[in-house]
Amino acid sequence: MRILALVPGGIGEQILFFPTLETLKQNYPNAVIDVLVEPRAKAAYRVCQSVNEVLLFDYQDRNGLADYLNLLGVLRDREYEIALNLEQGWAIAFLLWLNGIPLRTGYQGRNAYLLTHSVPLKSEQYAAHRYHDLVGSLGIQTPCPAPKLSVPRVDIDWAEAEKKRLGIGDSGYIAIHSGSSKSSLSKNLVKTYPAKSWSQIIKDIQAKQPDVSIVWLQGPDDAASIQEIRTSAPNLTVVEPPDLGKLAAFIAGANLLLCTDSAPLQTAVAVGTYTIALFGPTEVKKRLPADSKTCFGVQSSTKAMVDIAPVTVLEQIWRG
């Protein structure tokens, strides 16, 4: 049996989909499970053992007829028997119908007539649970498991070597990730927190916990923020993990992660690191499990990240 999951979105969305993949693997242990994801999300599957092959398709691009015909051929060659479709657009649903995949499941809506099965779209619930609802149409009624990662040993070793190189001692470290993303900005979703506010938080932590290292986990789009922060926090340690596995290993070893709503947040949820995450335009309940004992969200009352006062974050850090 071959199963295809069509999962648009970035790395964070893939991690939120990992519980669904885990359930599929448990219920179809001999099945070949593939995913169709955007190129920017491929890196997520370095830390997932439930998937056989990662196929690429840019759901956000202005795809022409040739792109869809090429995808049609790729899927037809693999002769899938089940397709789980998170993409709600007409074109992809039509393509799956054209492929003749026997069981096609997705969310109820105006394109559901192209599916063989559909489930209600509960857009207000935690995203991992919303995705996991799809397996109910396959007759699977098990609860949604918690997101998990499988970090390669080589990535754990890399993180340990980096800590040693940087002189991070037995007191451990607090990790920070800004969540800067050109993709979010292109959608007018400002999910970054001002460098000035981060600087105030870092100063307070360094004053109260001078033996604990502050490690900034640098992403590809936040070099300017780091330069600004270093003017007021010259002792800030910066690490640039080259892939998700190494980022996950560094997050897993932290005493605390401070971040925004981003892929590192979902990574922290999956590895169980104590985390405080800042939320602007997105809602905490949709991105964090309600029963989490390790991850906490600070929601902006105005939906603007800039309006979260540093003192509010510090109160969460020092609340005991």
Whether 143 is in a domain gets the answer no
Residue 193 and residue 121 share a domain: no
Q: Which of 108, 138, 168 is the last residue of a domain?
A: 138
Residue 289 and residue 172 share a domain: yes
Residue 241 and residue 209 share a domain: yes
Q: What is the dihedral of CA 109, 281, 268, 21, to 10 degrees?
A: 10
Residue 214 and residue 255 share a domain: yes
Residue 81 and residue 208 share a domain: no
pLDDT at 219: 86
Residue 286 and residue 160 share a domain: yes
Whether 146 is in a domain gets the answer no
Q: Which of 89, 114, 138 is the last residue of a domain?
A: 138
Q: Which residue has the tokens 């830390």?
A: 47
Residue 193 and residue 118 share a domain: no
Whether 128 is in a domain gets the answer yes
Whether 72 is in a domain gets the answer yes
Whether 20 is in a domain gets the answer yes
pLDDT at 185: 47
Cβ pair 192, 283 in contact under 8 A:
no
- What CATH number is attached to the domain comprising 127? 3.40.50.2000
Q: Which of 138, 164, 186 is the last residue of a domain?
A: 138
Residue 304 and residue 255 share a domain: yes
pTM of this prediction exceeds 0.75? yes
Residue 170 and residue 311 share a domain: yes
Closest CA to 63 of 91, 100, 95, 39: 91
Residue 237 and residue 187 share a domain: yes
- Residue 129 to residue 119: CA distance in whole angstroms: 12
Sheet with 275-279: strands ordered across: 237-239, 213-217, 173-177, 256-260, 275-279, 295-299
Residue 294 and residue 167 share a domain: yes
Residue 173 and residue 196 share a domain: yes
- Residue 166 to residue 161: CA distance in whole angstroms: 9
Domain count, the chain: 2
Which domain does 131 fall in, by range?
A: 2-138
CB atoms inside a 10 Å sphere around CB 14: 30
Tens of each residue's pLDDT in the chain, 320 residues: 999 999 999 999 999 999 999 999 999 999 999 999 999 999 999 999 999 999 999 998 888 999 999 999 999 999 999 999 999 889 999 999 999 999 999 999 999 999 999 999 999 999 999 999 999 999 999 999 999 999 999 999 999 999 999 999 888 999 999 876 555 545 555 678 999 999 999 999 999 999 999 999 998 877 777 888 888 787 899 999 999 999 999 999 999 999 999 999 999 999 999 999 999 999 999 999 999 999 999 999 999 999 999 999 999 999 86
